[in-house]
Amino acid sequence: MNSILIAIILVPIIEIYLLIKIGSQIGALTTILLIFTTAVVGIYYAKYEGLNTLKSGFIQLSKNEAPTYEMISGAVIAFAALLLIIPGFFTDVWGFLLIFPLTRGFIFNLVFKKFKNKKTEKNNFIDGEFEDIDDDNDRKI
């Protein structure tokens, strides 16, 4: 089965289970306030981290380096902000894990480990010869 389909089915089930369990322990009103608080705090921290990532990207560009990590990090921060907006504790935990730079770097290392180990010995150039043609000796092909 497709992993995205499994996630679409399992995430709401986990969220409902956690909302019922936590709500029965701390009360319904406290659970609702906790969900709104994590969303607000998470969105503000996502804004802060997003601006830091943007600043770091501009620093990389000023050094004439490609801001690859910053671009991927910015996309992950946007996804984490979306997870924090979705009500629930499971998505909030994943959102906070993706927002914080330390855990985000750790998750990046886990996900991209297989891509870093691939080293291709393939040359990405074509060898050829050329000839300069003067305007007086134009050749029509």
pLDDT tens digits in sequence order for the chain, 141 residues long: 688 899 889 999 999 999 999 999 999 999 999 999 999 998 899 899 999 999 999 999 999 988 888 898 999 999 999 999 888 999 999 999 999 889 988 988 888 786 766 555 566 777 778 777 766 655 555
pLDDT recorded at residue 140: 57
pTM: 0.73
pLDDT recorded at residue 91: 94
Residues 6+ away with beta carbon under 8 Å from 118: none
Residues 6+ away with beta carbon under 8 Å from 107: 97, 98
Furthest C-alpha separation in the chain? 90
Cα–Cα distance between 26 and 12 in angstroms, integer? 21
